[in-house]
Structure 1
Amino acid sequence: MKLLANKETPVKSLLRFICTGLLALCASHPAFALAPEPAPLPQPVTLTIGYVKVGHLAPMLSVADTLKKLNVIVKPVEFVRYADARTALLSGSVDIGAVGPGDLPIVLAQGNTNLVGLTGVAASSKYLVVRKGVQINDWKDIEGKRIGIAPGSAVWFQWAATLTEKGIPYKSFTAVNIQGGGTAFVQALKRGDIDAFLCWEPFESQVVSSGDGYFAKQIEYGHSKAVGAELGMLAATSTAMSTKREAIQRFLWAYLNAQDTLAKDPEAFAQAYSRYVGLPLDVTRPSVKLIQLGGVLDAAQIKAQATEFHKLGVIPKDVSGEVGKYYDDSLVKSLQRGGT
């Protein structure tokens, strides 16, 4: 019998199903309860917040209204890419914003210490998006293919680290550098300029939803040991951390509160995602199935990234010994109760 051949009894099958469901539930919701809403600040404080319109940052949508009640005035600044938000933070143009999960070692290797990481935002499996009509079913199939990349981006780091861990030569495919936001990747794929791309949501699901491409589920590159599955990081300037710390703490509470609400309700997440990025629900609904809201980034992962980035030649020196000092999750921990 088939069950005997697989050595799995009906009872074992049921237990496996239950355990899988429990693991999925744990991955979908934060492992902590958020502390009560903090008191309003005695005097108004303005926070300049840099944001990027990507799906996993949809909790940003309701932050301003919550902060208004807490006497924090939000001055929003939109950026197309994490790299642009990072530049604004380093120059002090914004107080707090969303950047790439690997940006700390990058800026530290450049000699800049004005960036302080606060928390991750979400995790996701990452699949190569392939143009319709092009067959990529296994890692060996990427050989000779034209793959669109954003050099130096968070997804590129994930891809490069995965290739290294799998022993796949980077030169086995043709890397096509694409500048600008995710729309440029979508257009390049539709024109046939590339066979596949490494990108981020909602642009991945946008291509799949329109029928112009598909997810190559055997080409998953989001869980390398060196880089990890984190999709982004909230960071502040060291100046803002010293002069506006209480306001930043209230921003984090507002963000985590919105994040927790959306993580518990996929449809609410899809609706907020749709409003945030301006895409229809037939794109955002499948996209939210790929994203687990709630940061998975920690100091150990950042140190591993620093080591790997140096090995890849992305940064000129290994800063893994000092990068942990610039990841300060104490504010987030102060807002948690029952954390583990």
Structure 2
Amino acid sequence: MFTNSGEGLNAISSGKVDVGSFGTAAPLTFISKGTDFVIFGGQQTEGHGIVALPEKAKELTDLNSFKGKTVATVRLATGDVIFRAALSEAGIDWKNELTINELDSPAAVLEAVKKGSVDAGIVWTPFIKLGEKQGLEIVKYSGELVKMHTCCRQVALSTKIKENKEDFVRFTAALIKAYKFYVENQDETVDIIAKYAKVDKDIIKQETYGGHIHSIPDPDKNGVVRFWELINKSGYINSDLNIEDFIDTSIYKLALEDVLKEYPDDAVYKKLKADFKE
């Protein structure tokens, strides 16, 4: 477990772990700086949000209302990039027209919002609902700013994949089977998540199946490319790399084929194949 994506990606880069799932912004930023990462699978789509105290939330009616405000965020978090990109698209200079405070964790963001030291904060699940339980209001979900944007992607060093591709295929096949379980067994899925996320089960249920986050194993190449364009346009990074060179869809394709050989008539897996093809 890592506090933020930067810590986890440093562990992958140094060889301490083989694979990890981290928000799209972080691996793309590392890639832009020369790290030999490959995105080969998906895990999460959307799942971030902006929270504020009720009196502050009333003021934050649209993106223009963030001008002059102070917003807490976690550096390299997907929601951070989506927010800055949305501001840029709206013609707002986020570097000069508001203040963005980068904190170390979503928990620190919630504390800053509750204390009133910032006007709003950007966090991800389950911290969105945790904040709401603690008296904050949800101002906006990230999917309202950029619909179906990618978040957590499966990331590894390209050298690790070249050395043990079959291991990554089997790993991805397990994730595909886990996806089917997640779709068809909601209560059991919540029970499993609760073993790892020390949060009330009702919050886990709301966050997991509330429609503002989607756990999909597909690498979503088009979505990553779109995110790459957003992260550059927003001024978060500046890179002319061809990001498609750092996305490997073959692992997912092989894993899905293996699963379909085992369960050729399964509707969930057939839908994943159709979505992947699209």
CA distance, structure 1, for counterparts of residue 43 and residue 144 of structure 2: 16
Matched-pair identity in %: 19
CA distance, structure 2, for counterparts of residue 215 and residue 296 of structure 1: 28
Aligned equivalent of 1:81: 4
Which of 165, 180, 189 pairs up with 1:269? 189
Aligned equivalent of 1:175: 100
Structure-2 change in CA distance of 1:105 and 1:176 (3 Å): closer
The Cα shift of 1:133 comes to 2.7
- Counterpart contact for 1:230–1:296, Cα < 8 Å: no
Name the SS for the 1:198 alignment partner: strand
Structure-2 change in CA distance of 1:198 and 1:222 (3 Å): same
CA distance, structure 2, for counterparts of residue 92 and residue 125 of structure 1: 28
The Cα shift of 1:194 comes to 1.8
CA distance, structure 1, for counterparts of residue 142 and residue 93 of structure 2: 15
Say if 2:52 is the partner of 1:130. yes
The Cα shift of 1:136 comes to 3.5
Say if 2:88 is the partner of 1:164. yes
Aligned equivalent of 1:62: none
Deviations 1:139-187 (A, max 9, x none): 1432333211123321111111111222233244332221x22211122
Structure-2 change in CA distance of 1:169 and 1:296 (3 Å): farther
CA distance, structure 2, for counterparts of residue 215 and residue 101 of structure 1: 22
Amino acid at match of 1:112: T
Structure-2 change in CA distance of 1:133 and 1:79 (3 Å): same
CA distance, structure 2, for counterparts of residue 168 and residue 315 of structure 1: 17
Which of 164, 188, 194 pairs up with 1:244? 164
Aligned equivalent of 1:308: 230
Aligned equivalent of 1:107: 30
- Counterpart contact for 1:89–1:95, Cα < 8 Å: yes
- Counterpart contact for 1:101–1:232, Cα < 8 Å: yes
Aligned equivalent of 2:150: 230
Structure-2 change in CA distance of 1:104 and 1:183 (3 Å): closer
Aligned equivalent of 2:78: 154
Amino acid at match of 1:270: V
User: Alpha carbon RMSD of aligned pairs, Å?
Assistant: 2.3
Aligned equivalent of 1:186: 110
Aligned equivalent of 2:247: 327
Runs of 4+ with >4 A deviation: none
What is the TM-score of this pair, normalised by structure 1? 0.68
**Relative to total residues, which structure has the larger helix share, 1 or 2?**
2
Deviations 1:248-274 (A, max 9, x none): 222112222122211233333332222
Amino acid at match of 1:165: E
Aligned equivalent of 1:12: none
- Counterpart contact for 2:190–2:201, Cα < 8 Å: yes
The Cα shift of 1:118 comes to 0.9
Name the SS for the 1:138 alignment partner: coil
Say if 2:221 is the partner of 1:221. no
Structure-2 change in CA distance of 1:122 and 1:310 (3 Å): closer
- Alignment length (residue pairs): 255
CA distance, structure 2, for counterparts of residue 329 and residue 291 of structure 1: 22
The Cα shift of 1:94 comes to 1.3
Name the SS for the 1:199 alignment partner: strand
Aligned equivalent of 1:14: none
CA distance, structure 1, for counterparts of residue 46 and residue 143 of structure 2: 7
CA distance, structure 2, for counterparts of residue 162 and residue 127 of structure 1: 13
Aligned equivalent of 2:19: 96
Structure-2 change in CA distance of 1:326 and 1:223 (3 Å): farther
- Counterpart contact for 1:83–1:100, Cα < 8 Å: no
Structure 1 gaps, min length 5: 1-77
Greater shift in the superposed pair: 121-130 or 93-102:
121-130
Say if 2:180 is the partner of 1:256. no
CA distance, structure 1, for counterparts of residue 93 and residue 34 of structure 2: 31
Amino acid at match of 2:99: T
Amino acid at match of 1:251: F
Aligned equivalent of 2:204: 284
Greater shift in the superposed pair: 231-240 or 287-296:
287-296
Amino acid at match of 2:46: S
Amino acid at match of 2:221: A
CA distance, structure 1, for counterparts of residue 88 and residue 218 of structure 2: 22
The Cα shift of 1:220 comes to 4.1
Structure-2 change in CA distance of 1:107 and 1:282 (3 Å): same
CA distance, structure 2, for counterparts of residue 310 and residue 137 of structure 1: 26
Structure-2 change in CA distance of 1:147 and 1:315 (3 Å): closer
What is the TM-score of this pair, normalised by structure 2? 0.82
